[in-house]
Amino acid sequence: MVRYLKAVLSLGGSIVASPGINLDFIREFASLVTKLRREGYHLAIVVGGGRVAREYIEAARGLGASESFCDELGILATRMNARLVIAALGNEAYEHVPESIEEIEEWDKVIVMGGTTPGHTTDAVAAMLAARLGAELLVNATNVDGVYSDDPKKNPEAKKYERISVEELIKLVGNEHRAGVSAILDPKAVRIIKEHRIKTVVVKGELQRIEAALRGGEHRGTEIEV
């Protein structure tokens, strides 16, 4: 069993703060991260915006705001969620939430951040962070248990992939980005994964599956072949 001691986690806002703030999950997640740190893991976490981000984005869009303006609102929500995770981690994490990938130079503690600039989802930020840090693994923890041929919540016939090539995934996700869109992985993230050949798994956002992915165990998600 291969352990991935240098890993980046893309933690979906749907897990952390949808429909409301999930304090129990945040506490238990912080305990898991602390345990893994004691075992020698280096972890960086990028937190999504969840429902609060989508509510603000839709409200702003309804008021005539531009997509860039809506993206900025979503980014603020992700950074609030990141601060909740930092609060739970205490001294295990850096207190500052980085606002760009470029300002990250150290990895002695857990890095926790949200979005960065309009046009980049937190999945894309996580992929960029994994490339910058030379991470061995990128884990995308979401509210779906893997990559499907279609939205399994709308199409019960959707096929789940245990493995999928990055080329197939590019065809599946398309090319469009829109503020507030919720998808398994956005197109920019997939292109970064391909370019930097980042080993990536998509798992259900449950603690045992996240831990299994990091430990190289049976996570029951989808592995993206690069």
**Ordered per-residue pLDDT tens for the chain, 226 residues:** 567 789 999 999 989 988 888 999 999 999 999 999 999 999 999 999 988 888 999 999 999 999 889 989 999 999 999 999 999 999 999 999 999 999 998 899 999 999 998 878 899 999 999 999 999 999 999 988 888 887 787 888 888 899 999 988 888 876 655 444 445 788 889 999 999 999 999 999 999 999 999 999 999 999 999 8
Domain annotation covers residue 176 = yes
Q: Let me know if residue 1 belongs to a domain.
A: no
The answer to the question of residue 81 being in a domain is: yes
The span from the CA of 193 to the CA of 130, in Å, is 9
Give the C-alpha distances (Å, rounded to integers) separating 121 from 10, 127, 147, 182, 185: 10, 10, 18, 9, 9
Query: Is 94 part of any domain?
Result: yes
Tokens of 132: 């910058």
Measured in whole angstroms, the distance separating CA 71 from the mean position of its chain's CA atoms is 16
Q: Is residue 24 part of a domain?
A: yes
Residue 188 lies in a domain: yes
Range(s) of the domain holding residue 49: 6-225
Q: What CATH number is given to the structural domain containing 22?
A: 3.40.1160.10
Task: Please report the DSSP string for 180-202 in residue order.
Answer: T---SS-HHHHHHHHHHT--EEE
For the chain, the domain total comes to: 1
